[in-house]
């Protein structure tokens, strides 16, 4: 019989198995938040303990005017640590908030900046994501001022107060663009709010297309703002303005670029310098028929002096830079979108990997979803431990997903910057693709056994999302056979059971569906309702001659109520006597979990043919404990223990499920028979034993006893020497496994004790 008995610890040590997502990429998609079904990940930061904190939003798809901020914390492996949501309520309705800034504060919490239509909103949360305070509207007359979507940047001062900087201008564009600088107390009270015209620092006269695009906070509590200013109709210049903590302008610089360019992002680099970039807006391309767009990247020193500048040709005439970040190895990553025209969603995305001097190392294109009716958008990019993170959203075709739902999306790339699998992925061990590796997957292996298909590029058993080509065959429910190729080697066979064992009980993002049982019944058929001490074998039955069962495979769990009576490390199923098939026709597996008193077991045929019969399908082997480590067995001579069979699933070869119910059996423990050694103050331990047993007594009448060991037929196996007896340590190392009887002869008494020898 192809029975798999794997000791998981041994496998881990042998192969150096480390089951962690951190070695690979991962993804997190969230589609709904109460009544809000339009999710989007916007920005991120790193927590005080080095974890990822993401800030995004959800809004009501139907009304389009209600929404909430959503914040979540992940470890580097993608495990969700906590999540929370909150918003700005007016008359009971939560207004749409667009987060533009989240910054770590000295107490381990975070300060969030967001915009409302013509308004600014700030929120302080603690290190667990709980709201501490939020601001109301800043403005009495915001109908005239504050841009439709002001950029809001927040940070903490050295004095414990908080600052916010937000862009401002008249809605009708009849005044200079400006920025407002606000100071708030630790409790959120507004202490200062003043406006500054950009032209006061750039020296440029106002033009209607002038704009402020980004702000960065500096270590000395100063900041830099950046944007564009039109000098005349033929030229647009970019500007940076540096301010210290006293709001004094320490320098302002103008940078000329060839086209009408907007600043998109300013980045503080690890070498203390700054990097910013921009591009020509799509609607003002100089050559509409061009096959590429131009992205401009400029590096400046701490005084704003240009160190170098580059222009990059994208692969599409309709490309836009989205975000910029620096990896720990000083590689610069530039994320750009691309599309074939201005009237369709983004067709794909490009990642430019740049050397420290700005030259291109390499660039890659990626896209998870096809174009319409799907949508895939990314808003920002960051890094953690030299790995790239993407934040955005995915709108998916409503076939297998909730209709009209846009999923908030977080993606961590692999160390080689390859993207992780998100859709139609295989997880080694989840052969039926129900989100969990368990005994159900053994049944699927039986149905798909010996099938051949394309090998995976990542042919291993590690628990993460693998990309795999589609196989020709599918199960009755439409599940492709590729999922059953657990190890990715292109053939479904015994080797795939290892992945189930290694990853047993692990789940991925789709919650699993469980089935329940009914009649007929799988049950225990013991020879007696009394459990003797030592090794006990109990037949496990399914069906009979009158009510046969037609099946292809079965999985079930055995649980027990008391681990002081049953040695939880000894339970085992033996499938040698099984009507489902002979050893060459079967694939079996079992997994023992002593800490939760559970044994999972499964058995399946491999020839794609059902069998109909009834009777014994195996034998449950258990060890009933006497006394262990010097502890006397229970004082009660008639205790009970219940053994249950549950968590059952039975299938035919077309995956039709057969309803089978579980059962419980309560056993009595009659321990006083033939064990009068314990009653007479002789303690023999351990029992079961493997190498030695020890004798203890406090009865002085039992001096110089004679001790014999017999098998259950009454045959004398050994008479122990007086030297051994006096030492209190008797060797049983050379006797075969089995149940024996110790007879202890004292001055006027013969005592007996059952002994189990097992290794």
For residue range 505-562, list pLDDT tens digits in order: 998 875 333 333 336 889 998 877 777 777 888 999 998 766 789 999 999 999 998 8
d(CA 408, CA 395): 9
CB 499 within 8 A of CB 441: no
For range 170-178, the mean pLDDT: 55
- In the β-sheet with 152-156, what is the strand arrangement from edge to edge? 152-156, 162-168, 178-184, 190-197
Beta bridge partners of 693: 730
Residue 7: is its pLDDT beyond 60? no
pLDDT tier for residue 264 given thresholds of 50, 70 and 90? confident
Q: pLDDT band at 201, cuts 50/70/90? A: confident
Does residue 18 have a pLDDT over 60? no
- Rounded Cα distance between 410 and 83, Å, is 14
SS3 percent helix, strand, coil of the chain, rounded to 5, is: 10, 45, 45
pLDDT at 333 over 80: yes
Distance CA 577, CA 592 (A): 20
The architecture of the domain spanning 676-757 is Sandwich (2.60)
Cis previous bond, 520, omega within 30: yes
Mean pLDDT value across residues 379-397: 86
pLDDT computed for residue 257 by the predictor: 74
Judging by DSSP bridges, how do beta strands 131-134 and 119-125 pair with one another? antiparallel
Among 2.120.10, 1.10.10, 2.40.10, 2.30.29, name the CATH number for the domain at 102-412.
2.120.10
For the chain, what is the mean pLDDT? 79
Architecture of domain 522-670: Sandwich (2.60)
Strand residues in 314-415 grouped as ranges (E): 318-326, 332-339, 348-354, 360-366, 375-384, 387-395, 406-412
Cα→Cα distances 614→524, 541, 579, 581, 650, Å: 14, 8, 7, 12, 14
The H-or-E segment that residue 500 falls in is helix 497-502
Give the span between the Cα atoms of 215 and 150, in whole angstroms.
12
Give me the pLDDT at residue 735, please.
86
Quote the pLDDT of residue 402.
45
For the chain, the structural domain boundaries read: 2-17+424-502, 102-412, 522-670, 676-757
- The CA distances from residue 660 to 516, 523, 589, 645, in Å, are 8, 10, 20, 11
Predicted pLDDT of residue 329: 86
Lowest mean pLDDT among 162-171, 631-640, 653-662: 631-640
Q: Rounded CA gap, 501 and 592, in Å? A: 11
The 3-state DSSP class for residue 15 equals helix
Indicate if 676-757 has the same CATH topology as 522-670: yes
């Amino acid at each position: 019989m192809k029975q798999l008995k794997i000791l998981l610890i041994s496998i881990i040590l042998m192969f150096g198995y480390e089951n962690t997502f951190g070695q690979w990429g991962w993804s997190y998609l969230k589609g709904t938040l109460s009544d809000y079904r339009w999710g989007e990940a916007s920005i991120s930061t790193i927590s005080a303990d080095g974890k990822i904190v993401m800030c995004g939003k959800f809004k009501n798809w139907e009304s389009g005017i209600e929404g909430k901020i959503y914040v979540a914390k992940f470890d580097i492996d993608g495990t969700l640590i906590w999540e929370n949501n909150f918003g700005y309520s007016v008359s009971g309705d939560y207004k749409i908030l667009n987060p533009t800034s989240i910054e770590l504060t000295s107490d381990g919490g975070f300060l969030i900046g967001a915009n409302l239509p013509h308004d600014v909103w700030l929120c302080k949360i603690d290190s667990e994501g709980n709201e501490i305070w939020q601001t109301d509207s800043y403005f009495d007359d915001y109908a005239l001022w504050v841009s439709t979507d002001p950029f809001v940047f927040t940070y903490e001062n050295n004095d414990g107060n908080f600052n916010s900087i937000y862009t401002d201008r008249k809605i009708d564009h009849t005044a200079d663009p400006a920025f407002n600088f606000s100071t708030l107390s630790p409790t959120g009270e507004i202490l200062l709010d003043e406006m500054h015209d950009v032209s006061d620092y750039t020296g440029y006269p106002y033009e209607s297309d002038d704009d402020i695009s980004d702000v960065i906070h500096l270590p000395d509590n100063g900041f830099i703002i950046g944007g564009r200013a039109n000098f005349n109709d033929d030229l647009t210049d970019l500007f940076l303005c540096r301010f210290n903590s006293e709001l004094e302008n320490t320098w302002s610089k103008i940078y000329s670029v060839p086209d009408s360019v907007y600043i998109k992002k300013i980045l503080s680099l690890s070498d203390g310098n700054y990097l910013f970039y921009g591009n020509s807006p799509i609607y003002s391309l100089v050559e509409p028929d061009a096959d590429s767009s131009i992205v401009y990247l400029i590096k400046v020193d701490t005084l704003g002096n240009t160190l170098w500048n580059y222009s990059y040709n994208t692969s599409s005439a309709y490309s836009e830079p989205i975000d910029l970040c620096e990896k720990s190895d000083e590689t610069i990553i530039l994320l750009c979108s691309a599309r074939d025209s201005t009237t369709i969603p983004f067709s794909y995305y490009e990642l430019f990997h740049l050397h420290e001097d700005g030259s291109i190392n390499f660039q890659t294109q990626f896209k998870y979803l096809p174009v319409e009716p799907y949508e895939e958008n990314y808003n920002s990019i960051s890094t953690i431990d030299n790995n790239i993170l993407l934040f955005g959203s995915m709108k998916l075709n409503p076939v297998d997903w909730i209709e009209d739902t846009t999923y908030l999306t977080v993606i961590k790339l692999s160390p080689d910057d390859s993207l992780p699998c998100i859709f139609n992925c295989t997880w080694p061990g989840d052969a039926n693709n129900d989100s969990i590796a368990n005994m159900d997957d053994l049944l699927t292996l039986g149905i798909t056994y010996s099938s051949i298909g394309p090998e995976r590029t990542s042919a291993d058993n590690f628990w993460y999302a693998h990309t795999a080509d589609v196989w020709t065959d599918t199960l009755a429910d439409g599940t492709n056979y590729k999922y059953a190729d657990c190890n990715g080697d292109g053939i479904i066979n015994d080797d795939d059971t290892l992945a189930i064992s290694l990853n047993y009980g692990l789940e991925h993002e789709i919650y699993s569906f469980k089935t329940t049982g009914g009649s007929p019944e799988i049950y225990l058929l013991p020879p007696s309702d009394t459990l003797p001490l030592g090794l006990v074998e109990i037949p496990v039955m399914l069906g009979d001659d009158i009510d046969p069962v037609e099946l292809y495979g079965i999985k079930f769990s055995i649980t027990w109520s008391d681990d002081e009576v049953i040695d939880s490390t000894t339970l085992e199923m033996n499938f040698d006597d099984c009507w489902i098939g002979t050893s060459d026709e079967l694939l079996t597996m079992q997994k023992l979990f002593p800490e939760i008193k559970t044994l999972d077991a499964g058995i399946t045929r491999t020839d794609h043919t059902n069998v109909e019969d009834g009777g014994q399908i195996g034998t449950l082997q258990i060890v009933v404990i006497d006394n262990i480590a010097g502890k006397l067995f229970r004082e009660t001579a008639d205790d009970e223990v219940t053994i249950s069979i549950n968590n059952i699933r039975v299938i035919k070869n077309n995956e039709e499920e057969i309803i089978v119910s579980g059962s419980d059996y309560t056993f009595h423990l009659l321990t006083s028979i033939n064990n009068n050694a314990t009653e007479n103050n002789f303690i023999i331990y351990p029992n079961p034993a493997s190498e030695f047993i020890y004798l203890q007594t406090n009865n002085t009448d039992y001096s110089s006893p004679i001790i014999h060991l017999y098998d259950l037929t009454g045959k004398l196996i050994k008479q122990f020497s007086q030297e051994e007896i006096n030492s209190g340590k008797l060797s049983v190392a050379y006797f075969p496994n089995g149940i024996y009887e110790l007879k202890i002869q004292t001055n006027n008494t013969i005592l007996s004790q059952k002994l189990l020898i097992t290794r």
